[in-house]
Chains A and B, each alone.
Chain A
Amino acid sequence: MIEVAVVSGKGGTGKTSLTASLAVLAERPVLADCDVDAADLHLVLQPTVETTEEYSGRSLPAIDADACTRCGRCLEVCRFAALSWGSEGGDAAGSLAAAAAARAAASDDAPPRLDAFRCEGCGLCARVCPAEAITMEPAVNGELYTSRTRVGPMAHARLGIAEDTSGKLVTKVRERARELAEKGSHELVLIDGPPGIGCPVIASIAGVDLLVIVTEPTVAGRHDLERVVRLAEHFRRRIAVCVNKWDLNEELAAQLADEARAAGAVAVGRVRYDGAVTAAQREGRALVEHAADGAAADVRAFWGTLVEALAAVAPRAAAHDTAASEGTVNDDGTAEGSA
């Protein structure tokens, strides 16, 4: 099984549009939408959800108001200012004097109040509470789905609004995608990654066979490409680079392509600026389903170079292809074989 992750550093360079087209062009892929806090791939692939699972990435403290003696020890130890007296934010935490003042000012005798957005779930408050009034309880902070789409099975998720721990949820989505691939003898897992270089990106690229970095010929695109290339080097991942909207600035586009090759990209492609990309999105179709020429032709050409590069870096997948095609009907009911 080969895992390919589409990432970008900079947001809005066209990761999801490209991923959707690659998913159509690839033979029997499994999709993994790892942009769990702003997932969009489903808008194009329109999955039929088959299983839904609650996701709990952390535990949050629950305070027993009757057992709580209002001693304030929990506020004192919390490094994240997640607990406070009264109705205002947690800024008083960490300073006993300030906490005492806020305490005195609080109109009622309420126990400490939790700001779940600030809490990291470390559980230190529960451990130090002398009255044992705090217990850590798993918080549901997202949903994990397995679905069927017109191009193949898909694992995706929805992170609860304003939730933490997106990296963990990404890891779950990828586990689920690999299970789908094994079950249906699929050779390719195609990952739509999040923007940035932080925890959900690191979780999206850990151990993948190839990173496809989508960039654009803008000074911001170039700056962000450099950082994501360094991230790939840090985790020793192979890269391919796609310069999207290349004709927006041809000189910079040529520079980006040269820099990508210098950084060891196994494939470098370019896709022109084309209104068909948005038009396809408005139809809920992938670009290559919507058009044959223009940017769609560029994407096809890029896919061709990717396939060659993949054959070179992961020849074992080709050997498995025969075995896969002889496989039995998938018990997950996926219809991708007929596509």
Chain B
Amino acid sequence: MRIAVASGKGGTGKTTVATGLAVTLASRGIPVRLLDCDVEEPNAHLFLRPELSPPREVTIPVPEVDEAACTGCGVCGDVCAFNAIVPVGGTVLLFPELCHGCGACTLLCPAHAITEVPRSIGVLESGRAWAGRAIGFAHGRLNIGEAKAPPVVEAVTALADVPNGEVTIIDAPPGTSCPVIAAVRGADLVLLVAEPTPFGVHDLRLAVEMVEALGQRAALVVNRSDGHDDEVDAVAREHGLEVLARIPDDRRIAEAYARGALPVTVVPGLFRIYWDLWREVAS
């Protein structure tokens, strides 16, 4: 079972819900792993404090030109859709940060003067967390200054396919574009976390449209529920989303989160909410 926790808007409580659910399952003896796919700003480790193995580099293939073999024909520049390789005069300029690693220049160079070399764009770290190391954990980190998060996200989600029937919880990045899609793809359920504010409602709509476009199953968690849930509920009804949990707007939750404590372990009543949420998901 793979559950992706996502939201259009940032800061709605994705990490709080993902870690809260993981801890709830682990404390009931259910094998669970948490994969933090917000590789631009990963935060789950701050709460789960996992022991991590040494980082593994995530690379994409970029071209390297053998100047001696290059005939200066210019085909590589013509075929590159991203302006990452630019023949100028007798030489070839490379802009690896623009390269998508599609392999067009390498494959189509008539002189076979281009080979590919790996370029590191981020790291993958994995390990175990929580009491008795009960939670499997992994996250990715995009290198500072790198633009393309999806290959790093995919390196993390590749760890989701485990044969032993563990529950995998994916903590997705905010938004509705490529890094989010890379994170939620393949999930059996996308759990959308929304807050009942105008920004929250607006961005929930976008997130629901994204999930619908991908053809995936979704359900809703209303976070910071404060008696203004009508509009969030209206979006849920409109799109046939079941509301699986309402987490109250409680300053104690915000304060626990602020200091890096898991709210589920500090604020009474939260464990019950996550356990009921899990039972709904599992049924």
Q: Which residue numbers of A lie inside 8 Å of B, CB to CB?
A: 8-13, 16, 37-38, 40, 43, 58-59, 77, 79-80, 117, 120-124, 127-128, 159, 161-164, 166-167, 194-202, 216-220, 223-224, 227, 230-231, 234-235, 248-249, 252, 278, 281-282, 284
B120-162 CB contact bits vs A (8 Å, 1 = yes)?
A: 0000000000000000000000101111110000000000000
Residues of B226-259 at the interface with A, using a CB-CB cut-off of 8 Å, are: 228, 254-255, 257-259
A164 vs B142: C-alpha distance when bound (angstroms): 18
A43 vs B146: C-alpha distance when bound (angstroms): 31
Q: Which residue of B lies closest to A14 (CB)?
A: B11
8 further contact pairs, Cβ within 8 A, besides A77-B103, A166-B178, A199-B147 = A12-B12, A159-B177, A194-B175, A196-B149, A220-B43, A227-B40, A235-B145, A281-B197
Shortest C-beta distance, A2 to chain B (Å), equals 24
Is there an interface contact between B9 and A11, defined as CB atoms closer than 8 Å? yes
Residues of B within 8 A of A120 (CB): 100, 102
Shortest C-beta distance, A219 to chain B (Å), equals 4
**Stretch from B23-31, B66-74, B202-210, B271-279 at the A interface:** B202-210
Is there an interface contact between A197 and B79, defined as CB atoms closer than 8 Å? no
25 A-B pairs (CB sep. < 8 Å): A9-B41, A11-B12, A13-B10, A37-B206, A38-B8, A38-B174, A38-B175, A40-B9, A124-B103, A161-B206, A163-B178, A195-B41, A196-B173, A196-B179, A197-B142, A197-B144, A198-B179, A199-B148, A217-B258, A219-B258, A220-B46, A224-B43, A234-B144, A235-B145, A282-B228
Q: Looking at chain B's contact residues, is the secondary structure mostly helix, strand, loop, or mixed?
A: loop
A124 vs B43: C-alpha distance when bound (angstroms): 37
Q: Which 5 A-B residue pairs are closest in the complex by CB-CB distance?
A: A11-B10, A12-B11, A122-B102, A196-B40, A219-B260
Q: A122-B100, A198-B147 are in contact. Are A159 and B176 (CB under 8 A)?
A: yes
Is there an interface contact between A223 and B8, defined as CB atoms closer than 8 Å? no
Q: A220-B257, A281-B197 are in contact. Are A231 and B176 (CB under 8 A)?
A: no
Q: Which residue of A lies closest to B176 (CB)?
A: A37
Residues of A within 8 A of B202 (CB): 38, 40, 43
Partner of A162, one of B43, B142, B197, B213: B213
A217 vs B255: C-alpha distance when bound (angstroms): 10
A120 vs B210: C-alpha distance when bound (angstroms): 18
Q: Which residue numbers of B lie inside 8 Å of A, CB to CB?
A: 8-12, 15, 40-41, 43, 46-47, 79, 81-82, 100-104, 107-108, 142, 144-149, 173-179, 181, 185, 197-199, 202-203, 206, 209-210, 213-214, 228, 254-255, 257-260
Q: Which residue of B lies closest to A248 (CB)?
A: B258
Residues of A within 8 A of B79 (CB): 123-124, 127
Residues of B within 8 A of A77 (CB): 103, 107
Is there an interface contact between A252 and B259, defined as CB atoms closer than 8 Å? yes
A231 vs B203: C-alpha distance when bound (angstroms): 26
Q: A195-B175, A199-B148 are in contact. Are A38 and B206 (CB under 8 A)?
A: yes
A11 vs B259: C-alpha distance when bound (angstroms): 17
Partner of B81, one of A123, A164, A231: A123
Is there an interface contact between B101 and A79, defined as CB atoms closer than 8 Å? yes
Most-contacted residue by chain A among B40, B145, B197 (CB, 10 A): B40
Shortest C-beta distance, A58 to chain B (Å), equals 8
Is there an interface contact between A37 and B43, defined as CB atoms closer than 8 Å? no
Shortest C-beta distance, A274 to chain B (Å), equals 13
